[in-house]
A and B are shown apart, each in its own frame.
Chain A
């Protein structure tokens, strides 16, 4: 029984709470208990769980003090990963307390967890409005601070409806007598503008007047807000540029200067005229200031604001000089950011950075891998024929897992031991591709010595096998093939390297992509391979080769065999038989492969090898004709030369194919047959029996030697067609064609490809049947490289001018495009205005304005995807509003548009007001309820 005079225990407890004396767990106790249990994770979980349960209880207590305490604890527990969104309503209760202490706690928790919780925010709107007009109980200060707390809290949770409701209040606060309030209001307006761009349009002048505020912190905040807004849409702010320029000249606060520079960066992107005015000033600024971040921002402004022209050597030199200083500094941060800027300058014109090669090389040895990796990107601009070898040398050395960099090596710091660095795999991958890129750039123009390059390539193959990265493997393989094809002088040397690579058992396991191209090279250039017999013996022993590789391998081996047999030296027949036996064994093992391509090829070659074997039986001294004539005839008709990507398809397109004229007229056919017969008399009898197999290989190629017997076997089809055709009348021909088409349709083995595919097929046929000289002489003339072997490098370059040019074109623009692509997506999110875009959206928005209040009030709380989507919508709105000519430079049409818009605006506003009213009624009721529950 509690008497009136003796306070109850509960009462005492309640009264003591404000002094931090809690009989419940206070925040301090919670932190202590968590710290005490931090050694044992299990115990920690228990403590956290218990604390959370307590909070759940306490937060429901009617005592605001206790509630606030629980909310603080929840805010602390959130750092341990416990979501506190479930307590949002209680947080709102704490916020509505009249005490500043509780308000602070409430707003803190709210800013952590309210984000986009539409229900609670709707409830909060009224509270916020009340707090912003807070009538202080004690004195003015309380008022100010409450508003300050409210404004800070508000800026973290603005949504579109909230923004609309609150913006009038905020604008009122802009004219407050206290700078603190003005500053906070400006800051809060930023978020409001993002959600509710109409506010900025309607009060543009009122807002920008704050640039001339007496208090510098307000000016600073305003500049910052304009700077941030201009990131989204710079256009409306271009009109401010004279004022801003003046500020840049007069203000000596570095923080504001940096903001102004950023702002000009954004403005210059849409207003190229600014460049003339700003650039000299920025350069001056760089000279005058001693603050590093101002210098950095100046360069940033020049580079990002597109103020640096391709031929503006002077400005570029000044910038790069400063950057060079940064790169040489002790501060790794400076080095890092300046490397990035270096890259951007280099992108504008690579020759700007060409003379900084020593710097780049030093950066490659930097302690910090992230700086190194950035320096790698610079390499393309900074390497030339003289330093390429040393650069590559440095890079390959870094393949050691641990790289020790002595600090004294880099900077003159005595007494520091070396730092050991772990080189991440991603860096290595990047390194390999950069090496390949810089070496192959400009059609290998930078390579001083191809022997060296071959060594580098094989080194790279060996070291990168651990990276387990298929793109690198493919790049290396492509490089190997390209060098082999493009540098004829080197083939004989290079092929040995390739053989070593291909027979390397580790490599076979790790980088199967290299095998494929390797075998292709060996097969194609088997004529320069020595010891083909050895190679065959070794490679048939390779097991577990991927089917894609075996597909190439089957052909490569028979080519090697053919070249080896015909390399001019005498070979003992039994030995040839032995090698052939190896091959037959190899093909037999593959002839049951599940891969169709592999199976088909190996069966083809198997049959041929068996025939060769038979023919060897009958011979004692000489190799049979089948091996000396027919076999090489399969492959050696033409040399393969490098052609530009896409050339083949171009040729096919440009070919006018005459499908009507028969290949042979009847007289020609007669002649041919007669000739044939006479030649066949000369040919020995062994050949005749072998003719059947010719059909096996006609898919590969044919040739002058082989064409003779071939014609007999494979021609009859075309002959019959030809003879018939020549004698037929046009109508008959048509009907025949129709019939053939019908046949084709019925035949399941024909792919029904309409009219196109047979055409191109025939085109190919024509191509291969020796008519090229007549059909496309130019391409042959250009691509013929086989005779250049003596011409060596210089000749090669000339020869491939066409190719080289393409490479130049591909080189740097590619680089830019890459990063642009990367940034492109971002830019889209940010809504960097491009003229096309804005005009397109412009059209949309005219209609959007009419009915926008419905959509905007409903959309924004709903779309809570990740902020970006929301933002892009805002930006779209923002941009739409301002990209329309209303904020352009010319004034006369300007006003009219604004007037019109304002009208429509006021209409929509009245609509929204009614809506808001009804809403606020709702919320009032609810908030009354909350108060009831409190009481």
Chain B
């Protein structure tokens, strides 16, 4: 299967801030994973490693400020370091897009966060765009188009 099965952003209070499923899960499964992972991941100490075994797969997480970025990866994909790197790329991209990203940015602009994620993790998370500039360029041009779309509509 694909390398990354899902990606969740969980706040320190255990709230889900973003979730992206790259695999078929039913609603109950999704809820279960969210619930269980937020408790397991939040309970882990700073010094512990960022890889947790959960059900039949591994979960790689990383904490940035008050947010936990949690990725479920298929067990045979197995480069956990790469997954951490992907998470970091994503955060970097958001950081430059929002200019010092914080949790509130993601909450209020969650569609933007999804858009950036779509650019970072192409095609079900099995691939990544590694160039930050190209990611930002695409997102920025989309934004520009949107505003021009809006203008068009008003002017019409």
Contacts and interface: CB of A to CB of B under 8 A. Distances in A.
B50 A332 contact: yes
A108 B82 contact: no
Interface string A412-440: 00000001010000000000000000000
Contacts of A101: 145-146, 149-150
Nearest to B123: A187
Contact of B149 (A99, A304, A333): A99
Interface stretch (B65-73, B94-102, B127-135): B127-135
Contact of A152 (B3, B27, B122, B126): B122
Interface string B7-51: 000000001111111111001001100100000000001011111
B57 to A, nearest CB: 9
A258 B76 CA distance: 14
Nearest to B128: A255
A83 B24 contact: no
A105 B110 CA distance: 11
B127 A221 contact: yes
Contact of B16 (A79, A155, A336): A79
A187 B141 contact: no
B48 A367 contact: yes
Most chain A CB neighbours (cut-off 10 Å) among B22, B110, B118 = B118
Interface residues of A, number: 84
Contacts of B50: 332-333
Contact of A191 (B34, B47, B124): B124
A336 B126 contact: no
A830 B1 contact: yes
Contacts of B80: 333, 336-337
Contact of A79 (B18, B75, B108, B142): B18
Interface in B103-153: 107-108, 110-111, 114-115, 118-119, 122-124, 126-131, 134, 138, 141-142, 145-146, 148-151, 153
A368 B134 CA distance: 38
A303 to B, nearest CB: 11
Nearest to A222: B127
Nearest to B1: A871
B111 A105 contact: yes
B119 to A, nearest CB: 8
Given A217-B131, A336-B49, A370-B52, A184 B1 contact: no
A105 B114 CA distance: 10
A419 B48 CA distance: 10
A461 B126 CA distance: 48
B95 to A, nearest CB: 20
A31 B107 contact: yes
Contacts of B27: 81, 83
Given A145-B141, A871-B1, A138 B79 contact: no
Nearest to B130: A255
A367 B50 CA distance: 13
Contact of B82 (A27, A145, A258): A258
A108 B138 CA distance: 16
B150 A370 contact: no
Contact of A187 (B21, B22, B127, B131): B127
A292 interface: yes
Interface in A141-167: 141-142, 145, 148-149, 152, 155-156
A145 B138 contact: yes
Contacts of B82: 258, 293, 297
A826 B76 contact: yes
A893 to B, nearest CB: 33
A182 B75 CA distance: 30
Contacts of A864: 24
B154 A184 contact: no
Given A138-B148, A255-B130, A108 B114 contact: yes
B115 A108 contact: yes
A77 to B, nearest CB: 11
A180 interface: yes
Contact of A333 (B19, B51, B124): B51
Most chain B CB neighbours (cut-off 10 Å) among A224, A255, A297, A419 = A255
Contact of B154 (A15, A141, A228): A15
B151 to A, nearest CB: 8
Given A79-B17, A105-B111, A407 B47 contact: yes
A478 B64 CA distance: 50
A830 B111 contact: no
A220 interface: yes
Given A155-B123, A221-B122, A293-B79, A72 B111 contact: yes
A180 B52 contact: no
Contact of A258 (B52, B56, B79, B127): B79
A365 interface: no
Contact of A225 (B17, B107, B127): B127
Interface in A514-573: none
B51 A183 contact: no
B84 A228 contact: no
A296 interface: yes
A295 to B, nearest CB: 10
A100 B142 contact: yes
Given A79-B17, A108-B115, A148-B138, A867 B23 contact: yes
A371 interface: yes
Contact of B49 (A105, A190, A228, A335): A335
B91 interface: no
Contacts of A111: 118
A220 B128 CA distance: 9
Contacts of A145: 138, 141-142, 145
A293 B81 contact: yes
Contacts of A31: 107-108
Given A99-B153, A368-B48, A864-B24, A28 B123 contact: no
Contacts of B16: 79-80
B20 to A, nearest CB: 8
Contacts of B53: 370
Contacts of B24: 115-116, 864, 866-867, 870
A180 B84 CA distance: 25
Contact of A141 (B2, B141, B153): B141
B51 A370 contact: yes
A446 to B, nearest CB: 29
A498 interface: no
Nearest to A292: B81
Interface string A244-286: 0000000001010010001000000000000000000000000
Given A18-B154, A31-B108, A108-B111, A152 B1 contact: no
A369 B146 CA distance: 49
Contacts of A18: 149-151, 153-154
Contacts of A253: 130
A823 B75 CA distance: 9
Contacts of A332: 47-50
A224 B126 contact: yes
A253 B131 CA distance: 11
Contacts of A870: 24
A409 B82 CA distance: 30
Nearest to B144: A141
Given A333-B49, A370-B52, A826-B76, A104 B127 contact: no
A749 interface: no
A2 B81 CA distance: 64
29 contacts: A27-B111, A31-B108, A75-B110, A76-B110, A141-B141, A145-B141, A149-B142, A155-B123, A184-B122, A190-B124, A217-B131, A255-B128, A255-B130, A262-B79, A296-B81, A297-B82, A331-B49, A332-B49, A332-B50, A333-B84, A336-B49, A370-B48, A370-B49, A407-B47, A419-B47, A823-B75, A826-B76, A830-B1, A867-B1
Ranked 9 nearest A-B pairs via Cβ: A332-B49, A187-B123, A18-B150, A867-B24, A293-B81, A336-B49, A224-B127, A368-B48, A101-B146
Given A78-B19, A152-B119, A217-B131, 8 more contacts: A18-B149, A100-B146, A228-B2, A255-B128, A293-B79, A333-B49, A333-B50, A826-B75
